[in-house]
Structure 1
Amino acid sequence: MAEYSASTIYPYDKRAIKKLDTLLNQEGIQHDKNLDYTMGLFDEEQNLVATGSCFGNTLRCLAVDSSHQGEGLMNIVVSNLIEHEYEMGRIDLFLYTKCEMAHRFSSMGFYEIARVDNKVVFMENRKTGFESYLQQLKEETAKNSLSASAKLQGAVIMNANPFTLGHQYLLKTAAKQCELLHVFIVSEDISLVPFSVREKLIREGSAQIQNLVYHTTGNYLISNATFPSYFLKDSDTVILAHAKLDVTIFIRIAQALNISVRFVGEEPFSHVTNLYNQIMNEQLEEHGLHCTIIPRLESAGTPVSASSARSALQNGNMELFKSLVPESTWHYFTSAEAEPVLEKIRASKNVIHY
């Protein structure tokens, strides 16, 4: 067997990046822009023969030169990436691969969660990970006294960065149109307002609505595992692929919980969310589910948005901020507890959601 050396490929190493792009293109894999670690296997002549990358807790851009298939190089790549992830403290891992490659990763201890357009497979390293998540959702639902008799069930997924009057209006409006409303709170801590605060403000700001069930999205909905383009700018092609994957997973959740309608707020600002809503509307209808778009709440003729609220906080315009949020959100952001979050918002280069 030939000798190969493993090394990190850094973004500033133009020569190595060119080799990486060539290999990925040769193997029909798009070079994901959202990566935080990339490694490569090089032969004795410094030709790149295999590669793999990570973004958060996902493995992606996995490729082996077709002329080196059968040499066990993918096992070496995946082992290297897993070791890196473990060193970073990431235990629950996910990966993307082409459908024809899924069986290979199954032999490495990964299990399929969902696939999109018969082209991409999403997998994880826990055999019962997704099933355990579905069971958790069912148990959370059963705690609501209305769950046993609720025939029309809906869902809302929100980041609420931070929770505004617009979010509150969306929940109130959606809750009136169904007997039980599942509220999925984006739990990944990548927003300016941390998850613990966002969850607290969502619960406090909607406490008066009786037919809500709260859930966290974990790694399975609008997370960097399934939908990194929600958080970072990327090409429309990648955004659409991630949106399809995320909606495919939501459909499985909806089927498990008997959810028949998903409510979304009208989106006049975010390009990513607009594309997502287009894909969602198409895919839900194909599976007998419905998508209901609720017009945005307006303040002084302008749609209320979390971006506007963050901008007001960054600029110190507390009068404007107060007009955009419920009392509970206002109370938090005028307390000493909020100072670390406020400092982060003030220091941010861009508070406007892409």
Structure 2
Amino acid sequence: MVELLDINRQTSVRREWEKLLSLAGLQSDPPYSAVYGIYVNGRLAATGARDHNRLKCVAVDPGHQGGPLFRQLLTGLVADAFDQGIEKLYLYTKPQAVDSFRRVGFLPLAATAEGITFMERGRPSFNEYLTRLSRHKGAPAESVVVEGDLLGEQEISLIRDALTRKETVRLFVMEGRTPLDLIRERLREFPGVFCHSAEGYLIPLSDFPAYFLPDREDRIKVQANIEGGLLADRIAPALDITGLTAVHDPHDPVRVAYNETLSDCLDGKLELTLVSPADL
């Protein structure tokens, strides 16, 4: 039976949980909305965690791999998320786990050359998301990606900069607490700007999971490759997007590394315009 684990207040549970993660080559990666586990003969044999709609830290004790625990764990985890009103789940995983997640209903959306794969389960699917976007297809457009809760003067200036290249700008808003309608209201002065939810397909750099990628530079490159591929190969054609305008802060090593990888990924597909904060 799948149980909720209290790793914050029960020290012994946390230690056993961290030991199981270590056996699987994983590490703790907060925050968590919930942590789950299955015990066999009094010992933690399988675990997984959820950060809202993203799964992470899924591990099965080596002595129980190949058995029913993985399916039992994921079935319970998905059911609990559904009970919380979450019908769509995302995850990033190592290549050796892709087939296991496929068998419990997750579909691959993009993968790096090394096989690290981005997957989803639930509705609306990515294809349905693209179909919804394509209904708004119009003139060739520039694109901008922002965090919904960080739509400040810098982001507004970035949008203005993008409008100097195209009369139409597709603004993708990453998950946040600010409703999309409120963002649209704030941008009423820009009739050529159209807001679209990024759903869980484009996420803030700080939210990218680290549980199986301990090296920060590796994480940045993986995220840039996956998101660049989704944007250039799938999202851009749905809306006739020809370019992407993004902030490039030379004093921010994370942003620099992301943009360098993104530039390689978009080369020949989308024109990437990088703007320094000093120019905004």
Q: TM-score, normalised by structure 2?
A: 0.82
- The reply on whether 1:154 has 2:135 as its aligned counterpart is no
* Correspondence 1:43-62 to 2 at 5 A: 43-44=40-41, 46-62=42-58
Q: Which among 267, 270, 293 is matched to residue 249 of structure 2?
A: 267
Q: Offset at 1:272? A: 4.9
Distance of 1:105 and 1:162 partners within structure 2: 34
Higher Cα radius of gyration: 1
Q: Offset at 1:288? A: 3.7
* Correspondence 1:8-23 to 2 at 5 A: 8-23=5-20
Unaligned runs of 5+ in 2: none
Q: Offset at 1:125? A: 1.7
Query: Quick check: 124-133 or 159-168, which moved more?
Result: 159-168
Aligned to 2:270: 289
Letter in 2 for 1:140: H
Quick check: 1:262–1:290 contact (8 Å CA) kept in 2? yes
Distance of 2:239 and 2:91 partners within structure 1: 26
Aligned to 1:115: 111
Q: Offset at 1:180? A: 3.8
Counting aligned pairs with the same residue, the percent is 23
What are the Cα deviations for residues 242-296 of structure 1, in whole angstroms up to 9, with x where unaligned?
44433332233124444332111233676654443333223222x6433211233
Q: Which among 261, 276, 279 is matched to residue 261 of structure 2?
A: 279
- The reply on whether 1:79 has 2:61 as its aligned counterpart is no
Q: What is the DSSP-based 3-state SS (H/G/I as helix, E as strand, rest coil) of the residue aligned with 1:93? A: strand
What are the Cα deviations for residues 293-352 of structure 1, in whole angstroms up to 9, with x where unaligned?
123366xxxx7xxxxxxxxxxxxxxxxxxxxxxxxxxxxxxxxxxxxxxxxxxxxxxxxx
Q: Offset at 1:86? A: 1.6
The 3 A distance-change label for structure 1 pair 50 and 238 is farther
Distance of 1:60 and 1:85 partners within structure 2: 13
Quick check: 1:166–1:297 contact (8 Å CA) kept in 2? no
Q: Which among 22, 41, 66 is matched to residue 25 of structure 1?
A: 22
Q: Offset at 1:127? A: 7.1
Aligned to 1:197: 182
The 3 A distance-change label for structure 1 pair 179 and 215 is same
Distance of 2:30 and 2:225 partners within structure 1: 18
Q: TM-score, normalised by structure 1?
A: 0.67
Aligned to 2:198: 217
Q: Offset at 1:160? A: 5.5
- The reply on whether 1:90 has 2:78 as its aligned counterpart is no
- The reply on whether 1:172 has 2:160 as its aligned counterpart is yes
* Correspondence 1:129-148 to 2 at 5 A: 129-142=125-138, 147=139
Letter in 1 for 2:216: D
Q: Offset at 1:68? A: 1.1
- The reply on whether 1:236 has 2:223 as its aligned counterpart is no
- The reply on whether 1:105 has 2:101 as its aligned counterpart is yes
The 3 A distance-change label for structure 1 pair 284 and 30 is farther
Greater relative contact order: 1 or 2 (C-alpha under 8 angstroms, separation 6 or more)? Answer: 2
Q: Offset at 1:67? A: 1.7
Distance of 2:150 and 2:34 partners within structure 1: 30
Identify, as 1 or 2, the structure richer in strand.
2
Q: Offset at 1:78? A: 0.6
Q: Offset at 1:80? A: 1.7
The 3 A distance-change label for structure 1 pair 9 and 75 is farther
- The reply on whether 1:37 has 2:34 as its aligned counterpart is yes
Query: Quick check: 59-68 or 267-276, which moved more?
Result: 267-276
The 3 A distance-change label for structure 1 pair 18 and 32 is same
Distance of 1:90 and 1:5 partners within structure 2: 18
The 3 A distance-change label for structure 1 pair 292 and 109 is same
The 3 A distance-change label for structure 1 pair 255 and 25 is farther
The 3 A distance-change label for structure 1 pair 5 and 57 is closer
Distance of 1:9 and 1:244 partners within structure 2: 35
Q: Offset at 1:221? A: 1.7
Number of aligned residue pairs: 274
Q: Offset at 1:49? A: 1.5
Unaligned runs of 5+ in 1: 304-354
